[in-house]
Structure 1
Amino acid sequence: MKRIVVLGAGESGAGAAVLAKVKGFDTFVSDMSNISEKYKNLLKKHDISWEEGKHTEELILNADEIIKSPGIPNEAPIIQKLKAQGTSIISEIEFAGRYTNAKMICITGSNGKTTTTSLIYHIFKSAGLNVGLAGNIGKSLALQVATEQHDYYIIELSSFQLDDMYNFRANIAVLMNITPDHLDRYDHNMQNYINAKFRIAQNQTQDDAFIFWNDDPIIKQELSKHGIKAQLYPFSAIKEEGAVAYVEQHEVVINKPIAFNMEQEKLALTGTHNLYNSLAAGISANLAGITKDDIRKALSDFKGVEHRLEKVARVRGIDFINDSKATNVNSCWYALQSMPTKTILILGGKDKGNDYTEIEDLVKEKCSGLVYLGLHNEKLHTFFDRFGLPVADVQSMKDAVDAAYKMAQKGETVLLSPCCASFDLFKSYEDRGEQFKKCVLEL
């Protein structure tokens, strides 16, 4: 019997283990951290052996194939040993793709992918299609393939997930944008990160679709290098050569494959970045044959994504906005650009090789104060202190909210848009956002 070892027992790993077990493999799960009760119970239910707090080499190095959770870096000692002996290492998505004939709509990009993924899922679900939500959000794709049957999967893919995908094919691939992110995982080499993003199109055929932002300078520059065979569907904010979707005279227009239009003011999501999300989602739904009326309705009644420019409360005339999902500088740029008032910006966390130059002008224009939230704020001080804005140094969310509240004037906004990963002080960006909301509501 072929032996599969799953490294990491979060949503991705536990789901992959269940699928491996269901398909008759000798399955073992190993996690260097503690496994949550939720996933322990799932593994026990399916009679899957597991260990936590360690990687026992004799139980791992004998695997025929490894399914690696995306959070485990290639530099991890156990990964290096597996690679040295030539063991196949794949992602949960790659593994799950072997066992389903469902249509795969896959979304990646440095920013906007969660909102776009959620919006596409909302359109498909609202239209009555049998659809699953997977990848970085939703339930594990492997678990759904093991226990449910869907005709479509809408999958958000990070660069880490794409790194370990080889034969998986996206029927519709969406590349929102590429800006510097996760460079600490890519040897601080931007080209390595770009190549990871373009893997989303690597197995596409001429029967498939590749949707991308037409004005992204990196995508434009790289497009011809990657031998993309799929039909191209570029989108843009305004009508320009090549774009199949754009806004013209306050109307959203999609030209291919079926002509579609709706009034821009009826879109549920506002702001330029959300226009791109809506255009990419509209093209995806159009390609899937969803009716114009269903697309219009879903684009106009979508409720947005938690932790992404989420309005929390207004306290004594000060608005508090949770943008905890802004884990890179470009995401924060979009958030600041959309602020209609002077803003106290809470930023900081685990730096991923960030270059803050991108938000320099917006911080000078929009911000009336800065709160540095992290264990190591030296880089923030070096870059931002010279602007002469009031700053506060904090190492807990309560202190961050309190400091921002003291700095803010009536009519201003407090924005949590950290530019950084959350792992220095929080379990995840969700945990960071939840703590922010809790602290705001206790003011």
Structure 2
Amino acid sequence: MAPAITLAAEAPKLSAANTGFMLICSALVLIMTPGLAFFYGGMVRVKSTLNMLMMSFISMGIVTILWVLYGFSLAFGEHNSLIGWNSHWFGLSDIGLTQLWPGYTIPIFVFMVFQMMFAIITPALISGALADRVKFSAWALFVALWVTIVYVPVAHWVWGADGWAFKLGVIDFAGGTAVHINAGAAALGVILVIGKRVGFKKDPMRPHSLPLVMLGAGLLWFGWFGFNAGSWLGNDDGVGALMFVNTQVATGAAMLAWLAYEKIRHGAFTTLGAASGAVAGLVAITPSGGAVSPLGAIAVGAIAGVACAAAVGLKFKFGYDDSLDVVGVHMVGGIIGSLLIGFFATGKGQSTATGVFYGDHTWTQLWKQCAGVGAVLAYSLIVSAVLAFLLDKTIGMRVTEDEEISGIDQAEHAESAYDFSGTGGGVIGSAAHSSALAAATQTKKVDA
């Protein structure tokens, strides 16, 4: 009998459906950065609103250019387990229009731009911890250096084909380590160097616009579906759909859990708590959503909601001024979501790896997750602190105390978020003024 003929596996072909899907997901991830700007912008005082918006928006410019020039090549080129390189990707100068990302059905350009959006939002996340007190020029330089020295290597470790964490088997579906722990640890490192805001723990520093916070949270929630489901780079086998479902489920569970904790601890259901709880759930499900079931997603979200709600108060206990709770939500939420994979992974999602509750009695996956979490946290914390220290000793990281007190918007941008100087004129304004004056006069008569 003639020997059997084994045919080579058919090479992937460009899929118009997956390409379109990924371009839409890329746009969804990009809208998360303006959403983050609104989320943070509403949480600060009026005098810092524009600066907070700009700290996110400037990342969209700086990181885009750096990613095209060398960031993508260093993060995803194959070189060694610590850093990548591909000279053909430098400046995106030698990539064919239909050249596919290896093993997938989408062009390299599509994968590149999808990952660019991740690189943009990650340093923007850090900005929330530094509200009210950082020079805009120093922040812009920090973003450029941090993306180059911290984000790019960590992205290679976690997602690069020859990255050490990827080869070890650390699961991070969409950025629990590379994005959220990375940004949260960096935030902690920087604030330990630059110090507290003037009046921390003494003056009221309440959010000036909770509707703006809720709008930002809604945009983040909406964009996060592209962030998470798109990270499977296609929509052929149902894993992306599982991630989409788990993203919604965990976010809802975390919001409810945060509100329950808040009611029990402080006696009220706050809008800020609802928004923060939703973000905590989104953070925690980001690394784990492709590995757990929807029931597991409920557990991940609920645990993250309570843990992050408790963690945000630690800054008052330990004395570090994490202005908008980047450490408490993103670092803690990222750690929880990453480690819970070691307990709740079913082996029926993105891989066959299972957690302790699904048969991994040797805790193998949990130890892998611990290795990834620990390495990223330590590297980002230390290097970010060193970067902040060097910038502070050279060009200075902080505005002056007088500028901080009077308002960083005017000091750094020569603008204010809300200009009321032109209000009160015209017929409506005059009528309103007359009504107020009449009411005041009537009150005086009654008192008399």
Task: Please classify the TM superposition score into its range, dividing by the shorter chain length.
Answer: under 0.3
Bigger relative contact order, structure 1 or 2 (CA pairs below 8 A, ≥6 apart): 2
Report the TM-score when normalising by structure 2. Answer: 0.27
More helix by share: 2
Larger radius of gyration between Structure 1 and Structure 2:
2
Q: Normalized against structure 1, the TM-score is what?
A: 0.27
